[in-house]
């Protein structure tokens, strides 16, 4: 190869190395729009599930007469993720009131739902560090919770996804350059202050946990410390310490009635990294717990994915919540139903037993959806209920209730 060519390649390599040295992006950098996250799943192992018999199953009449929230009233809250339109559908609200004592807005409490784009953009530059929010999308749900004695998990204050790209630009216009670190820190503080203050002033004590930061640990494709960089405009503007800023602001504006959580999926495979990355936040006293999402499949080992992870975080001094539980199955039919029920039973057995003997400090378990066809994983029928002329209990529900007629399967 000619010398000139070698010099050119060497120069290009040097240039590309410098540009990859994590330097803050030049002002011409543009934010990336992220609206959907890939379907996060915990570690999955080949489906080693034995083929169970499905001959004439019966359920315990005692269990059938109970509800999820009654069954676990001495152990932990039982919650459900709900789309906002739920509160207009009495068939859904009746089941929610009967079975659950907590809920999470599936989408409506995320930044892309609460940020008022028009008002923020029209108000610029006065809104430069004070974005305008609109709480209209969460009022009906918060009123429902207040009227029916349900607690609410606040999901989520700071996430790289479902947070519009315009929110990170110099003038709030899509396509403009990223704003400065200082401005973005101020916007983050204003956003967190406005959301927490609205809920605390209008619905005091209703929110019992905030997912302050969601899914910031990305081992493998994250930065040298495993913090998510890809499509993360928080990282691109503020830098990796956006995590610490978010928790510091949440603690600053909290009235103390809600615990502050870090929430993530795939925790079993990155639990030590999560604890390492959160260490400065814990040191500052700005975090109370870690949310284990638990987007699982029937091929997963429940003891490893849930019990061992929850114990690890408890031993590290954190409260724990299961925040987005669903157990998907690629199979259809009666046997698939039964296997799923067996997995739900083993999961609830482990966590109830570990809670009772003090091994895990868990106070809430939330399933990520009310019934299969409205699940984000509807193709895998991952939930406790299905729609069948009405909202109907599945084997998964009986498993979650630990029906003695269902054997558990780790
Ligand atoms: O609201 C729009 C609607 O106007 C539009 O017509 C429609 C079709 O484009 O999209 C609707 O927005 C969708 C939104 O759900 C509300 O239904 C988005 O496209 C869709 O991406 C979004 O999916 C949500 C997903 O987060 C986005 O990342 C799922 O419902 C929600 O279950 C899921 O939940 C996340 C947790 O927040 C964090 N942990 C992972 C979990 C699963 O991804």
Ligand 1 atom closest to Cα of 110?
A: 37
Residue 180 phi/psi, 5-degree rounding, is: -75, 165
Looking at per-residue pLDDT, the higher value among 1 and 39 belongs to: 39
* Radius of gyration of the chain from its Cα atoms, rounded to whole angstroms: 23
Structure tokens at 102: 């907590």
Q: Is residue 6 part of a domain?
A: no
Q: Distance from the CA of 108 to the center of ligand 1, in angstroms?
A: 10
Q: Is residue 205 part of a domain?
A: yes
> Looking at the structure, do residues 278 and 389 belong to the same domain, yes or no?
no
Tens of pLDDT, residues 298-318: 999 998 889 999 999 999 999
Q: Distance from the CA of 407 to the center of ligand 1, in angstroms?
A: 35
Annotated active-site residue in 42, 324, 380, 395: 324
| Residue 35 binned pLDDT confidence (cut-offs 50, 70, 90) | low
Mean pLDDT of 376-380: 97
Q: Is residue 42 part of a domain?
A: no
Percent of all residues in the chain with a pLDDT value above 70, rounded to a whole number: 86
Residue 203 phi/psi, 5-degree rounding, is: -135, 65
Mean pLDDT of 165-171: 98
pLDDT in the model for residue 58: 84
Q: Is the pLDDT of residue 52 over 90?
A: no
Distances (CA, A) of 57 to 53, 163, 251, 361: 9, 47, 50, 34
Tens of pLDDT, residues 113-128: 999 999 999 999 999 9
> Looking at the structure, do residues 165 and 282 belong to the same domain, yes or no?
yes
Q: Is 329 exposed, middle or buried (0-12, 13-18, 19+ CB in 10 A)?
A: buried
Q: Is residue 242 part of a domain?
A: yes
pLDDT in the model for residue 22: 35
CB atoms within 10 A of CB 37: 15
* Structural domain count of the chain: 2
Q: Is the pLDDT of residue 10 over 50?
A: no
Q: Mean pLDDT, the chain, as a whole number?
A: 90
Q: Is 79 exposed, middle or buried (0-12, 13-18, 19+ CB in 10 A)?
A: buried
Query: Can 126 be counted among the known catalytic residues?
Result: no
Q: Is residue 189 part of a domain?
A: yes
Annotated active-site residue in 106, 108, 189, 215: 215
Lowest-confidence range among 31-45, 95-109, 229-243, 328-342? Answer: 31-45
Tens of pLDDT, residues 120-159: 999 999 999 999 999 999 999 999 999 999 999 999 999 9
pLDDT in the model for residue 51: 35
Q: Kindly report the CATH number assigned to the domain that includes residue 159.
A: 3.20.20.80
Q: Distance from the CA of 376 to the center of ligand 1, in angstroms?
A: 8
pLDDT in the model for residue 409: 87
> Looking at the structure, do residues 149 and 132 belong to the same domain, yes or no?
yes
Contact 282, 317 (CB under 8 A): yes
Q: Distance from the CA of 393 to the center of ligand 1, in angstroms?
A: 25
- How many Cα neighbours within 13 Å face the side chain of 56? 0
pLDDT in the model for residue 305: 83
> Looking at the structure, do residues 109 and 254 belong to the same domain, yes or no?
yes
> Looking at the structure, do residues 281 and 305 belong to the same domain, yes or no?
no
Q: Is residue 395 part of a domain?
A: yes
> Looking at the structure, do residues 77 and 106 belong to the same domain, yes or no?
no
> Looking at the structure, do residues 171 and 221 belong to the same domain, yes or no?
yes
pLDDT in the model for residue 304: 83
Q: Is the pLDDT of residue 54 over 90?
A: no
> Looking at the structure, do residues 282 and 309 belong to the same domain, yes or no?
no
113 lines ligand 1 (CB under 6 A): no
Q: Distance from the CA of 156 to the center of ligand 1, in angstroms?
A: 13
Ligand 1 atom closest to Cα of 368?
A: 32
C-alpha closest to that of 227 among 237, 242, 212, 210: 242
Tens of pLDDT, residues 191-241: 999 999 999 999 999 999 999 999 999 998 999 999 999 999 999 999 999
pLDDT in the model for residue 38: 52
pLDDT in the model for residue 316: 98
Query: Can 36 be counted among the known catalytic residues?
Result: no
321 lines ligand 1 (CB under 6 A): no
> Looking at the structure, do residues 132 and 248 belong to the same domain, yes or no?
yes
* Domain extent for 69: 53-82+291-410
40 lines ligand 1 (CB under 6 A): yes
> Looking at the structure, do residues 155 and 69 belong to the same domain, yes or no?
no
Global pTM value = 0.89
Ligand 1 atom closest to Cα of 161?
A: 28
For the chain, the maximum distance between any two Cα atoms, rounded to a whole number of angstroms, is 84
Distances (CA, A) of 43 to 175, 266, 305: 37, 6, 8
Lowest-confidence range among 33-47, 99-113, 207-221, 362-376? Answer: 33-47
Q: Is residue 97 part of a domain?
A: no
Q: Is residue 297 part of a domain?
A: yes
Mean pLDDT of 80-85: 92
Tell which one of 291, 376, 382, 383 to mutate to probe ligand 1, the residue whose CB is within 8 A of the most ligand atoms: 376
> Looking at the structure, do residues 308 and 173 belong to the same domain, yes or no?
no
> Looking at the structure, do residues 109 and 152 belong to the same domain, yes or no?
yes
163 lines ligand 1 (CB under 6 A): no
């Amino acid at each position: 190869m000619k010398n000139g060519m070698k010099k050119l390649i060497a120069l290009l390599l040097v240039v590309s190395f410098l540009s990859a040295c994590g330097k803050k992006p030049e002002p011409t950098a543009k934010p990336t729009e992220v609206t959907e996250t890939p379907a996060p799943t915990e570690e999955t192992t080949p489906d080693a599930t034995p083929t169970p018999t499905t001959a004439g199953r019966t359920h315990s009449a005692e269990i059938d007469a109970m509800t999820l929230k009654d069954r676990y009233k001495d152990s932990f809250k039982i919650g459900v993720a709900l789309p906002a339109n739920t509160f207009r559908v009495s068939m859904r609200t009746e089941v929610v009131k009967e079975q659950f004592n907590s809920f999470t807005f599936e989408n409506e409490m995320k930044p892309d739902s609460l940020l008022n784009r028009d008002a923020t953009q029209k108000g610029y530059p006065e809104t430069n560090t004070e974005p305008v929010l609109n709480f209209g999308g969460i009022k009906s749900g918060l009123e429902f919770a207040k009227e029916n004695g349900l607690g609410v998990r606040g999901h989520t204050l700071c996430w790289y996804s479902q947070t519009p790209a315009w929110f990170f630009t110099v003038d709030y216009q899509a396509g403009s350059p990223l704003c400065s670190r200082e401005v973005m820190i101020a916007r983050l503080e204003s956003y967190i202050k406005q959301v927490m203050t609205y809920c605390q002033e209008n619905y005091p004590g209703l929110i019992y946990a905030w997912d302050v930061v969601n899914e910031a640990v990305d081992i493998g494709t994250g930065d040298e410390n495993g913090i998510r960089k890809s499509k993360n405009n928080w990282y691109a503007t503020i830098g990796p310490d956006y995590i610490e800023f978010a928790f510091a602001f949440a603690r600053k504006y909290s009235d103390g009635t809600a615990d502050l959580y870090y929430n993530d999926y795939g925790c079993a495979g990155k639990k030590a990294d999560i604890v390492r990355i959160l260490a400065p936040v814990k040191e500052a006293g700005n975090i109370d717990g870690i949310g284990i999402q638990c987007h699982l499949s029937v091929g997963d080992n429940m003891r490893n994915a849930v019990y061992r992870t929850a114990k690890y975080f408890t031993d590290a001094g954190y409260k724990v919540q299961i925040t987005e539980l669903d157990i998907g199955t690629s199979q259809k039919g009666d046997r698939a139903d039964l296997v799923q029920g067996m997995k739900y039973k083993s999961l609830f057995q482990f966590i109830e037993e570990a809670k009772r003997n003090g091994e895990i400090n868990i106070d809430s378990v939330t399933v990520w959806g009310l019934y299969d066809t409205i699940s984000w994983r509807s193709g895998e029928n991952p939930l406790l209920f299905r729609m069948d002329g009405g909202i109907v209990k599945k084997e998964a529900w009986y498993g979650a209730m630990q029906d003695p007629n269902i054997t558990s399967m780790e």
